[in-house]
Amino acid sequence: MRILLIGQAAFAAKTLESMLARGDDVVAVYAPPDRPGGRPDPLKDTAASKDIPVYQPTTYKDDQVFAEYKEIKPDLTVLAFVTDIIPARYFEVPTQGAICYHPSILPRHRGASAINWAVIMGATKTGLTIFWPDGGIDTGEILLQKEIDVGPGDTTGSLYFNYIFPMGVEAILESIDLIKAGKAPRISQDEAEATYEPPCDDRVAGIDWSKPAIEVHNLVRGCDPQPGAFIMFKDEKVRLYGAKLMEESHKKAPGTILQIGDQGIQVALVGGKLVVSKVRAPEIGKVAAAEFAAEKGLNVGDRL
């Protein structure tokens, strides 16, 4: 079966390596265009090292790009971490269709920041979906899903790198096997259960200390490592990481520094305390929270 892979970053590169290692016939790879002064995408590097043709269109809406794609004559197109909008006509060309990886249990958390929002919203379970794309935003029929627990100490980073990344590669391989065997299901998504959230960026990453403790904690976890939940301190945007929630009572106003030590900065919340172990700020970068406090003159009793 002639497989065409569209993707980017380490996830797509690992998917390609895993497919080749077991003998899948990958006939072409589509990767993002090179950025001026930047390093080539890992998928491009991996494909080039294996002498697999690499295409890097700036847009998939161009008729010439589509014509070139059709000439490859793929039996199956695999989308492994794709942020570009791929028109539906691309999915109609392969004889076996196309499949796409998404890091949530669809139809929950459609969109570009699925893992972030699962954590921010306090989910106790999340996972991944392999689905048949149809041109909508994560709306196609489901082929398979994998589920994992979300612990109170998990972050977007820990969930992705420890679970959803490796599980996702294996799920793609499993899906290819099901398609080869003619046993791949097509399960309609329940639109009544669907949610869509916007990209998790600084428009949603600002911390409001007046929110309940669990909501603040979930926001910090959900924005760790990117974009980093932030507060403004001395007119600088300061981002917080490595948060731990302590459900202990106190009488201080939310945002007040309660303690500074080797474990981090302890901040008063509504109904608890937040311990922050790492901080990133302009000029000094990402450092231990206590180091940041010393550098910026932050003291117990100050309010963030």
Condensed to tens digits (0 to 9), the pLDDT of residues 138-192 reads 999 999 999 999 999 999 999 999 999 999 999 999 999 999 999 999 999 999 9
CATH 3.10.25.10 occupies which residues in the chain? 213-296
Average pLDDT over residues 58-79: 98
As to burial, measured by CB atoms within 10 angstroms (0-12 exposed, 13-18 middle, 19+ buried), residue 263 is: middle
**Percentage of the chain lying above the pLDDT 70 cut:** 100
CB atoms within 10 A of CB 26: 19
pTM of the entire predicted model: 0.95
The two beta strands, 236-246 and 229-233, are antiparallel
pLDDT at 231: 96
Distance between CA atoms of residues 73 and 88, nearest Å: 16
Could you tell me which of 176, 297, 287 has the C-alpha nearest to residue 239?
287
pLDDT at 93: 98
- Report the CATH architecture of 213-296: Roll (3.10)
- For the CA atoms of the chain, what is the radius of gyration? 22
Q: Has residue 98 got a pLDDT over 90? A: yes
Condensed to tens digits (0 to 9), the pLDDT of residues 193-209 reads 999 999 999 999 999 99
CATH 3.40.50.170 occupies which residues in the chain? 2-193
Helix %, strand %, coil % of the chain (to 5) = 30, 30, 40
**Quick check: helix, strand or coil at residue 228?**
coil
At the fourth CATH level, the homologous superfamily of domain 2-193 is: Formyl transferase, N-terminal domain (3.40.50.170)
The token pair that represents 190 in the structure block: 């329940």
Q: Has residue 43 got a pLDDT over 90? A: yes
